[in-house]
Every structure is written in structure tokens, then in C-alpha cells.
Amino acid sequence: LCFRHALVLIAGQPLLIVCGCFKYARLAYVEAQGELKVPFKDALPTREEQLSTLRNTEEFDVLVVGGGATGSGCALDAVTRNLKTALVERSDFSSGTSSRSTKLIHGGVRYLQKAIMKLDYEQYMMVKEALHERANLLNIAPHLSAPLPIMLPVYKWWQLPYYWAGIKMYDLVAGSQCLKSSYVLSKSKALELFPMLKKDKLVGAIVYYDGQHNDARMNLAIALTAARHGAAIANYTEVVHLLKKPDPKTGQEKVCGAHCRDIITGQEFDVRARCVINATGPFTDSLRKMDNQKTANICQPSAGVHIVIPGYYSPDNMGLLDPATSDGRVIFFLPWEKMTVAGTTDTPTEVTAHPIPVEDDINFILSEVRNYLSPDVEVRRGDVLAAWSGIRPLVTDPNSKDTQSICRNHIVNISDSGLITIAGGKWTTYRSMAEETLDTAIKAHNLSAGPSRTVGLMLDGGKDWTPTLYIRLVQDYGLENEVAQHLAATYGGRAFEVAKMAQVTGKRWPIVGKRLVSEFPYIESEVQYAVKEYACTVIDVIARRTRLGFLNVQAADEALPRIVEIMGNELQWTEQKKKEELEAAKKYLHLEMGYKARSEQLSKTTEISLTAPEIARYKKRFYKFDKESKGFITTVDVQQVLEKLSIQIDENALHEILNEVDLNKNGQVELDEFLQLMSAVQRGQISDSRLAILMKTVEEGLDLRGPVSVDRSGGGV
């Protein structure tokens, strides 16, 4: 950020605030007038009841198509204005872009940079709006969001005032809604707070604050809040085609609803509405073409890839921003859910419902991470626990003469037939985008409704949340501390409903709450509760009701059989349905969450790049298990050695451990497969290989025992 321009703009700040105050003063004070009625405050309607409402309601005021952040926001805005509201989503709520973000609630430091450099008032107002929405979102969902300090390391002296001026401007634009004032750190203090940082040439650092949230759960909270206020919402309900009827005054065809299909049952039905809102994100053009096949595309999709690596790569409560990577992209490096998320900005892509992270992008992120982490920290490809790609729906304004120019913010468009389209924008501004969309819809379709009431409207679970709520969960139900903290941070005041459903463990402690996998605080009763939150598939549970699939694909894979069993009991699945769900979830983890890229790090073509002494050492280790020099080992061989050390491992678990390395899938690990494994471990392509660690530990145990001496064998003198 340019110091000279920053001073000019800072000096001009009062003028800018005066110019933009009307809009934001209005936003700030349109609080919900009195208490809104909440017809489903205690228990949500079931999905079947919601579908029945959709089928049997003569006409809705508003039908929203799309259950992402913006679509759910539109439904909430509409229903709280006392409009009869419906929402349909062809997959799950937040199944697209809204669950695959960088997890930040931010105003956009980069947009402010452009505003300053180009003295662009529109960009400035966009940042100001986002900062207002950031403050509101942190306020209405305190359980799902929190401020996060983010560090900008500085490696050149001249950059210090350059960045400092820009970040101070960011604080200044936020005004009274500034989360916490930014500050400058010396080199030693920066390393104290972020010890993994590269020391060489480091001058100092600047720390500023933005918000962070659990994006999929936030999206779900918005949708559930709309449902509690009376909106009829249904996931896995796709629009087959739009309904139209002639306008009695002009005779022109007008959109009057949609013909929908319940994907779960295949049943089709009409949903009639005075106004239809297209909030389908990257699929914006698909619905626009249902309205008019000749309409031009406006969506310019771009993909952002993120990876998850272990939490030890970053401090518990400090993110890092690299504003200028080797190819000009920005990289965030953030602690999230006790892991570390690293991700890029966007690259052009094709629209798809199932975006797949590309190996080149994963390696680009890793190489950039290496650039600002200490050489002491070995950044290994094998440490990538999950990876995903999200498609951001950038748009061109259909009313603009220059159709190639991408809109910086968002657009609200009305087609000739009355279809309202909201496209573009970003997660942080979902609420203001929804407000603008409903204002447009009310005016265009002559709906009877007052102003928006969503500023300050608490989202599901937020009202009864307190920072110490988890203590009551521990005391009242006997949950583990970590599990209680997780439940409070995920469900807010509704965490008690999940705790009540938790099964007794039979242990002294914890008293209730069986974990799905040992290293994550997700418990079995969350799967039962997920069904109440409209989860229909196993993928809904591992990806959005919990975040297990986003945090560790192997752990998610291990949890699948138990999740299938619990959901099967809740939803009366047949054995065939259970099998299909398991296979679909495995495929999802394999392709969309990076399991394929992770597992392919060890393949039949992996080169063995070991020195002669290393090969000799690993052969020696291998033959401690392969006593008969067969050239391969089986579970029986491993178990015989473990028995000598009085180590017991479940036979099924042992099969899984060997299967990870058994490239030929013949039930045995051959010597060349073992050497390929150790070579991949050496190069950092694979980490935490259970077989490699097990065999090393056993070898060390056997070496420590050695032969039993004669004078000790009989307890001699």
C-alpha cells in the first residue's frame, strides 16, 4: 500500500465518510423492531414436513433457488420481512463454494489497496460495506466466529511504512467496528509470536485483525434460522424447469415458480411464487438459461485451492498473509479447527459440481509455504491431510457495455420475465447482498414488505451462547473438555440438545460422548443430530455438519462405517443403501478432498532414491519381520514379532496398516514396496506412515532387549 496515497486518502477520510454515511448509517440502525415471531423456536419441521409445505402451499411470495450463503441469506431476509418464503437447493446447504472458502470474514485488504492506489471511491465503499458486515457477522454468530490476528512478515525496510500505512487505513475505514488496532512488531517479537517464521532478512512484522468462522456451519445456521422463522426450505430438491404465465396487462411471459424434483425420492411437484430469486453461485447461468436460452453468460468461474496441514505449522492463534508470492497470487496461512489451512487466490476454471484439487496447485502452495517458514521446519507433501477446491462465481455485469470486464462486487439483475438474479460478491457480504436483492424483488414484484430486519438478528445457536457454556456441558453431562468446547463452538446454545443424545461410554471418564475417531472431538450423537438438521447423506455429515472430511481425509475414511450405521438406523436405510452411501462418501474423499492425491504419493512407479547404507539399514529392519527371507511380510509375520514385545494390535487394524503399503494388493508387503515406502518417507512425500513407524519402533525395541545374559536368566547373583 502506497504511503503517499494513504496520507492523501486519510486526509480525505471525513469527506469519504460523509459521502457514504447515508447507506451505512441506515444499515447500522435498522435493527429488528421488537421481537420477531419464531414459530419453530424449539423443534424444526422435518424435511418431509418442509417438502409437504412446498407442495401444498398455493403460492409463496418468494422462492429462492440455491442454498449457499447468499441464497440462505435471501430466505432469512425475506421471511423476517413477513414474506411467505421457500428455498430449494439441489444438493446440500453449503455444499458448493460456501463450504470451501478461506474461512475468513474480511473486508478485503487488497481491495483497499486498489482503492488507495487508484483513488477509487467504489472500491473504498465496497471495503467499508464488507467491514460493516464483518462486525455484524461476528456479533450474530459469536459461537461460530471470532477475531483472528494475521501477521504480514516484512523482509525489506522500505516495506514497513508501506504496509503500515495501508493497514492503518484498514483500521480507519472500519472505524468504531475495528476489531482491534493493528500494530508493528520487531523481528524478535515477531519470532516469539510466530516461531516457525524464517529468520533470514526478516525486518519485522505488522499484525492486523480480521474475522474467522466455520463457513459450512455458518451457512447452515443461516438456513436453519430461516426455517425457524417459518421459511419452507429443502435440500436435495432441484429445479427441473421454471414455471411461467402471461402477464394479464402486457401478455408477456412472467416467471411464476418452478417445477421441482425431490432427488431422494424422485417425486416431482410445482412450487408457485410471485417472485423467483436465482442465488445459485457458479451455476447462475444454468438457471438464467432456463428462463431464456439466448441469454449471455455472466459467470466467470475461478478456483481457489486450499490444503490442510498439521496444527504445528502455525501458532494456535496467529495467521499469516503473504501478499506477494512468486507468481503474484496471495497466500493465507491460518490456524483453523486446531489444524493449519493454507490457500491461494483464484485461477480460471470450468464450472463443475465436483471441483477436484490439482496436484500442481497443492505443490505450489507447499513451495510458497517453504519460502516463509524456517528451514528447521520441513514442509512435507505427506503432511497434507486434506485438500479442496472451491469455485468463486465472479461475474460480468450484463448491463455493462464492456461485457469482458469482471464486476468487482456483485450484481442484482432482473430479466424480462421477472427472474431476479444475485451473483458475485463474497462470503462476508452475504447479508447486505440478500438485503439488496429483496429490496429489488419487493419493488419489481410489488410485494408488501417493510425494510430488512437482519442486522443484529442472532443466528441459530448464537443467542444462548457464552464463552463459558462448555463448562456447563462438562459439569452437567460428563463430557470431555475438548468435546464440550467443540460442541459449544459448533452448536452454540443448542449444544445441550446434542449432549442429551450422547450415549454413556461405560468409562469412569468421560461419562458420555463416544468419539467417531480418537483424535477429533466429533461424537456419535452429532450424527443423530445431523439428521434433524436435514443431513440426508454421509457426505453431509463428514463435510458440513462436522468438518472431519475437510480436516483429515484418513480420519474421515475411518469414521465412515460407524456414521453409515448410525444414519442407517435414523433413516431406515436398507443394506444396499448403506453400501451405496459408503461408496459415495469414499469417492468424495478420494476425489474432492484430496485423498487420491495423497494416496498416489506412494505408487508402483515411485523411485527408490536411497543410498546404499540406507538400503542396507532398511533391509535389516525388513528381515527382522521376514524371518524366512521370503521377500515379503504378512500380518502373521508382524504379529509374531509384536508378541515377542508383548504388543497387541487388533488384526483388522493390522490389515489396514499393511494395506496402505501393499501396492500390488496381494495381501503382503514385498521388500521393494517397503523400500519405496521408506524412500517416500525420506523425501517427505509421505508422513505418519503407520507401518514405517511401527517397524522402526519394533526394531528399536528388539535391539534394546538383545540376548538375555546367563547371569540374569535365572535371577543369579
pLDDT digits (tens, 9 = 90+) for 247-279: 888 889 999 999 999 999 999 999 999 999 999
Other CB atoms within 10 A of residue 704 CB = 8
Q: What letter represents residue 161's amino acid?
A: P
- The domain 19-100+217-295+397-445 is classified under which CATH number: 1.10.10.10, 3.40.718.10, 3.40.50.720, 3.50.50.60? 3.50.50.60
Residue 82 pLDDT grade (very low, low, confident, very high; cuts 50, 70, 90)? very high
The pLDDT of residue 717: 33
The pLDDT of residue 628: 82
* Domain ranges across the chain: 19-100+217-295+397-445, 142-211+301-393, 468-600, 607-701
The pLDDT of residue 598: 62
Q: Is the Cα torsion angle 94, 97, 98, 100 positive or negative in sign?
A: positive
CA dist 415 and 417 (Å) reads 5
pLDDT at 447 over 70: yes
Q: How far is CA 542 from CA 55, 244, 327, 427, 554, in A?
A: 30, 39, 34, 22, 12
The pLDDT of residue 19: 36
Average pLDDT over residues 603-610: 69
Structure confidence by residue, pLDDT tens digits, 403-419: 344 555 899 999 999 99
CA dist 337 and 548 (Å) reads 10
CA dist 292 and 288 (Å) reads 6
The pLDDT of residue 512: 95
Q: Are 564 and 582 in contact (CB under 8 A)?
A: yes
Question: How much of the chain, in percent, has pLDDT values that exceed 70?
Answer: 89
Task: Give the angle subtended at the CA of 479 by the CAs of 41 and 514, to the nearest 5°.
Answer: 95
Report the SS3 class of residue 420: strand
- Residue count (the chain): 717
CA dist 550 and 416 (Å) reads 41
Least confident of 12-16, 391-395, 466-470, 581-585: 12-16
The pLDDT of residue 146: 97
pTM, two decimal places: 0.86
pLDDT at 116 over 90: no
pLDDT at 113 over 90: no
Q: Are 482 and 246 in contact (CB under 8 A)?
A: no
Residue 501 pLDDT grade (very low, low, confident, very high; cuts 50, 70, 90)? very high
Burial class of residue 55 (count of CB atoms within 10 Å of its CB; 0-12, 13-18, 19+): middle
Q: Are 186 and 28 in contact (CB under 8 A)?
A: no
CA dist 100 and 215 (Å) reads 8
Average pLDDT over residues 13-32: 35
Structure confidence by residue, pLDDT tens digits, 631-685: 888 888 888 888 888 888 877 788 778 887 877 667 788 888 888 888 888 877 7
Q: Do domains 19-100+217-295+397-445 and 468-600 have the same CATH topology?
A: no
More confident: 326 or 214: 214
CA dist 18 and 9 (Å) reads 14
More confident: 480 or 599: 480
Least confident of 12-21, 69-78, 659-668: 12-21
The three grid cell numbers given for residue 51, joined into one nine-digit string: 417438502
pLDDT at 6 over 50: no
Residue 15 pLDDT grade (very low, low, confident, very high; cuts 50, 70, 90)? very low
More confident: 520 or 619: 520
**DSSP, res 250:** T
CATH code that applies to domain 142-211+301-393: 3.30.9.10
The pLDDT of residue 600: 66
Structure confidence by residue, pLDDT tens digits, 291-331: 999 999 999 888 899 999 999 999 999 999 987 677 777 88
The pLDDT of residue 579: 97
Structure confidence by residue, pLDDT tens digits, 522-552: 999 999 999 999 999 999 999 999 999 999 9
- The domain 468-600 is classified under which CATH number: 1.10.8.870, 1.10.287.130, 1.10.10.60, 3.40.50.261? 1.10.8.870
The pLDDT of residue 446: 95
- The highest-confidence range among 127-141, 326-340, 354-368, by mean pLDDT, is 127-141
Q: What is the mean pLDDT of the chain?
A: 87
More confident: 339 or 618: 339
- Dihedrals φ, ψ of 3, to 5°? -65, -40
pLDDT at 72 over 60: yes
CATH topology of domain 607-701: Recoverin; domain 1 (1.10.238)
